[in-house]
Amino acid sequence: MSGIVIAVSRNVKHTFSKSNQEKIFLLAGLGVKGDAHLGETVKHRSRVAADPSQPNLRQVHLIHAELHDELQAAGFAISPGQMGENVTTRGIDLLSLPTGTRLYLGDTAVVELTGLRNPCTQLDRLQLGLMAAVLGRDADGKIIRKAGVMGIVIESGEICPGSSIRIELPPEPHQPLDRV
């Protein structure tokens, strides 16, 4: 299984959306250089308020462009970076990958998936109804979170639109992604 990077985004400030860039640099153990969420410990405001010493399992946020397609078909005007993601992918079902999956991005960068992004009400501030649109329920009534996945940087490297993505699954038994 492989895919491609469609867009890369970052923002030095703690704003919801991130600006698209020509390239971003991932720093091992830290995240995206020049992004407000860079660091070994949590940077998301709500998590810092709860316990600032928690490890940062949300160094990189990835969203599949297929979600943007789905949202656009439902009438939302969504483009890469608007929902706060650092990396927009195409060709990979990110949500189906197990915890611990490694994504090899470009020539050297490696991101290990830690969990699902838990959508928040800021999505509705971007566009009314967006939060509900990125949530669903399966046949058993379990919540499905579609707002992307989170990961930590294992190997540093530069990525840009057009960078290839190769997937390496962790050893079995696989554990499904859960919210982080």
CATH assignment of the domain containing 79: 2.40.33.20
* Residues of the chain with confidence (pLDDT) below 50: none
Find the domain containing 81 and state its range: 2-168
Residue 27 lies in a domain: yes
For residue 108, what pLDDT is reported? 97
pLDDT of residue 93: 96
- Predicted local distance difference test score (pLDDT) of residue 169: 98
The pLDDT score that the predictor gives to residue 129 is 96
Instruction: Assess contact for 17 and 84: CB atoms under 8 A.
Output: yes
Q: Which helix (H) or strand (E) holds 20?
A: strand 19-21
Residue 55 lies in a domain: yes
Whether 104 maps to a domain, the answer reads yes
Query: Is residue 180 in some structural domain?
Result: no
Burial of 107 (0-12, 13-18, 19+ CB in 10 A): exposed
Number of domains in the chain: 1
| Residue 92 pLDDT | 97
- 177 occurs within a structural domain: no
Question: CA-to-CA distance for 156 and 89, rounded, in angstroms?
Answer: 18
**Residue 71: per-residue pLDDT:** 97
In a domain, 51, yes or no: yes
pTM: 0.95
Q: What is the pLDDT of residue 120?
A: 86
